[in-house]
């Protein structure tokens, strides 16, 4: 199955509209999870377990540092299948408080030769109530994060209320939350990641987090912030400090980029953000800048352009403690988690490190 995926993608999936192909893939994974023996079949593609990769981070247990980025399973339809494939965590979303359709189609395009996607989806979401209902039915064997964003029709002035209400609505089904203030596809959203805007959002989110924890007699959830790659170094550092002062538990770096560097000219006027290989070097740079600024004060989740096992090793050596994938999974297929985990194991065998945290930030 692994050997067949590449030709299958190039000869079949790549000729289907990109968004439709994505929906079919998620539906297929969800169907496998519902089919007797389906999860067992998927688990045959999972990587071996290795204690050197196990982590206790954010007071949560990660079987390995490889996770699914937000955007792949927006509405929590394929969580069990993704866990069966060997991912150590799954971040669903972006989830909005109220259902919304997102931007007009077409809104996803492939740049196959460049191993990239261009995405202008604009937070299409079934809404918090539907996502909560799906997650309530699960008994996941891995960490589940929920990526949250404001509705398009919510003003920037009221955005903090949306984020706070999402934390309250989804508190009992999330192991952690990621505050998405960096998508390029919701007008004005990226202004919220700058220091003053982020401080206001985090203040309301923390209030909702502590309030929900008190009511349910549970521990507060870790709150992470997802930032854009299109910031200069001084802005990256300012966002990091704002996240720390605002009580964030970690930073997800990075979202998609508005840059068209490395793409054919036909994509110059396409809306949306770019993910995949063209983002890799920039995402690595942002990770290194963040790590040099925050060190071990906040964990970094590295996402963007991780297309091979070597890329995962590189991102961790740049300062990320966890990594997440989306476009790489799209192009490489269901054995991609195993590919990344095996590369980490091979690096440990070759260089002699005893635990994954031993190499975090070595090349920062």
C-alpha closest to that of 299 among 141, 142, 167, 176: 176
C-alpha closest to that of 57 among 49, 48, 66: 66
Spatial distance between the Cα atoms of 69 and 327, rounded to a whole number of angstroms: 9
C-alpha closest to that of 47 among 361, 340, 290: 340
Asked if residues 178 and 205 have their Cβ atoms less than 8 Å apart, the reply is: no
For the chain, what is the total number of helices (H) and then of strands (E)? 12, 13
Note if 212 is an active site residue: no
Choose the catalytic residue: 21, 182, 183, 318: 183
Spatial distance between the Cα atoms of 53 and 340, rounded to a whole number of angstroms: 11
C-alpha closest to that of 10 among 108, 112, 107: 112
Spell out where 262-348 has E strands: 273-276, 300-303, 322-325
DSSP 9-57: HHHTGGGS-HHHHHHHHHHHHHHHHHSTTHHHHHHTTSPPP-GGG-EEE
Asked if residues 227 and 189 have their Cβ atoms less than 8 Å apart, the reply is: no
Positions marked active-site = 183
């Amino acid at each position: 199955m692994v050997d067949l995926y590449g030709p299958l993608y190039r000869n079949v999936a790549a000729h289907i509209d990109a968004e439709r192909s994505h929906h079919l893939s998620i539906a297929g994974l969800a169907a496998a999870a519902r089919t007797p023996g389906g999860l067992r079949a998927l688990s045959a593609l999972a990587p071996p377990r290795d204690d050197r990769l196990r982590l206790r981070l954010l007071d949560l247990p990660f079987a390995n540092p490889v996770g699914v980025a937000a955007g792949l399973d927006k509405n929590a339809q394929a969580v069990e299948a993704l866990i069966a494939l060997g991912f150590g965590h799954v971040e669903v979303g972006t989830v909005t408080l109220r259902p919304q359709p997102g931007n007009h189609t077409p809104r996803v395009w492939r740049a196959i030769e460049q191993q990239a996607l261009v995405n202008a989806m604009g937070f299409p979401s079934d809404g918090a109530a539907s996502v909560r209902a799906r997650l309530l039915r699960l008994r996941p064997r891995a960490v589940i994060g929920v990526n949250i964003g404001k509705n398009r029709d919510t003003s920037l002035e009221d955005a903090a209320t949306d984020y706070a209400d999402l934390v309250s609505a989804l508190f009992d089904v999330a192991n952690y939350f990621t505050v998405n203030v960096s998508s390029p596809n919701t007008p004005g959203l990226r202004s919220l990641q700058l220091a003053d805007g982020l401080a206001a959002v985090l203040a309301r989110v923390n209030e909702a987090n502590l309030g929900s924890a008190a009511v349910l007699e549970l521990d507060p959830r870790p709150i992470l912030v997802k930032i854009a790659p299109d910031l200069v170094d001084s802005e990256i550092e300012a966002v990091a400090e704002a996240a720390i002062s605002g009580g964030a538990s970690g930073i997800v770096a990075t979202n998609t980029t508005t840059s068209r560097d490395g793409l054919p000219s036909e994509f110059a006027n396409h809306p949306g953000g770019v993910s995949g290989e063209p983002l890799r070097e920039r995402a690595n740079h942002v990770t290194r800048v963040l790590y040099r600024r925050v060190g071990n004060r906040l964990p970094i989740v590295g996402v963007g352009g991780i297309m091979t096992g070597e890329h995962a090793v590189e991102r961790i050596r740049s300062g990320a403690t966890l990594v997440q994938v989306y476009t790489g999974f799209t192009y490489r297929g269901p054995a991609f988690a195993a590919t990344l985990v095996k590369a980490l194991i091979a690096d440990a065998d070759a260089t002699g490190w005893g635990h994954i945290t031993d190499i975090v930030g070595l090349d920062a």
